[in-house]
Amino acid sequence: MSERDRDVLAVERRDWPGPGAKERAIRERLGISPTRYYQLLNALLDDPKALEHDPVTVNRLRRIRDERRERR
C-alpha cells in the first residue's frame, strides 16, 4: 500500500464536523479532488492490503457500499 492509500484511509477514518470540512481536507492534505478521492477509496475497499492495514474502516465502508447496492 502506498502512503497516499494510507492517507486516504486516514481521512475516511476521521469524524468530520460539518459540511465541506472533509472535502476541504481532501484538497488540502491530499492535493486531489473529492471525485478522485472517492475513486481511490472505492478501489481500496477491494484491496486486501487495505483490509489488513485498517480492517475497521474498510469493513465499515464495505457494509455501507453493499447496503447501497442492495437498495438499487
What is the pTM for the complete model shown?
0.87
Question: How many domains, in total, are found in the chain?
Answer: 1
Q: Which of 47, 5, 51, 49 shows the shortest CA–CA distance to 30?
A: 5
CA-based R_g, the chain, Å: 12
Domain with 53, as residue range(s), is 3-71
Q: What is the CA angle 56-46-11, rounded to 5?
A: 50
pLDDT tens figures, 2-50: 999 999 999 999 988 888 999 999 999 999 999 999 999 999 999 999 9
